[in-house]
A = this chain, B = another copy of it.
Amino acid sequence: MNSHWYAIIMAGGAGTRFWPASRKRRPKQLLALGPDTSRPLLAATVARVKQLCPADRIIIATGEHLVDATQAVVPEIPQENLLAEPVPRNTAPCIAWATASILSRDPDAVIAVLSADHVVTSDDGFVQAVSQAMRVAETGTITTIGIVPTRPETGYGYIEAGADRSDGSKEALRFVEKPNLETAEKMLASGSYLWNSGFFFFRGRDMMAAVERHLPDLAGGIEKIARARANGDDREILKQVFPQLPSVSIDVGVMEKVSPLAVVPGDFGWSDVGSWQTVWELAQRDDNDNAAPEGSLLVDSRGNMVADLRNSGGKRLIALLGVENLVVVETDDALLVMPRERSQELRKLTDALSRLGQHDKL
């Protein structure tokens, strides 16, 4: 481990794509949606990242309303390493703020920006790719990891990779928005496109310089917050300044503009776990392709994604007879049934709840 290595784990989230399991106050990273059903995605992420830097150099950026729940899931992270955004302002303000706070501790910090709610099935592959990306970042080049695509996925953004660089990475030529299937198939066939993981690596000072150059308003706001923190208490100024920061993603606000940008190809069983469909794909399944809690009674049923995420009420038998490719999820206060292939349309339900004013279910 390099003593200047830090990680920022982005752990915000609206909690709509995994309703009814995910809620505003219990977004995806706090749920055990990965193949490891014994711990929340955030806990698995922190365990993985601890192979790269110790807990006291892991910063978790989350929302104010999520601080307690986050702390409960990763108690090993020091409380002062939890950055609580007063309001969500997309990724650029979050990363700039976290970077500034790390720089106040260590001006030579090299930082990995990672997501709290992704799945990685090969921890070794992850550590190897991140280490390589960090070493490229150490040389002063902002770097990303591009996932080697395994299918013409239309749910991810892509990065076009160019020439090999001398440090073993490649030039990142451009970001491509989520494509249609035809474009995705062409990109897959070309062999020169990678999935945008949303992971970024940089020296703290390089990121701040890039923010100053490309997002000067953001840099100014962060500067104010950092000064207040240096003077002892940034809480008041945070509440004033943070909501005024430009709401822009790091991809659009910075990454698409910096040059050179390096990309390290990664192949470590990555998924951003975008929907119940993905959870089903990642889950352990029986001979009939059902993912269901042990003890479920499944007769003439195939391809179902069943989850019991209740915390109370005791053991309950889930019995399916003659159904295929359904999602059946139950929590203490809600039950969802839908076809698995409609996982992406779950927003129709959360939007309806919102319209009906049922905010206690969101």
Which A residues contact B (CB, under 8 angstroms)?
20, 297, 299-300, 312-323, 326, 328, 330, 332-339, 342, 345-346, 348-349, 352-353, 356, 358, 361
Contacts and interface: CB of A to CB of B under 8 A. Distances in A.
Given A299-B348, A349-B299, A336 B322 contact: no
Contacts of A352: 297, 299
Nearest to A308: B335
Count identical subunits in the complex. Answer: 2
Given A299-B348, A313-B312, A348-B300, A326 B337 contact: yes
Contacts of A336: 319-321
Nearest to A336: B319
B322 A345 contact: yes
Given A299-B349, A314-B332, 7 more contacts: A313-B332, A316-B333, A316-B334, A317-B358, A322-B342, A323-B337, A328-B337
B334 A319 contact: yes
A321 B342 contact: yes
A52 to B, nearest CB: 40
A316 B226 CA distance: 46
A349 B321 CA distance: 7
B333 A297 contact: no
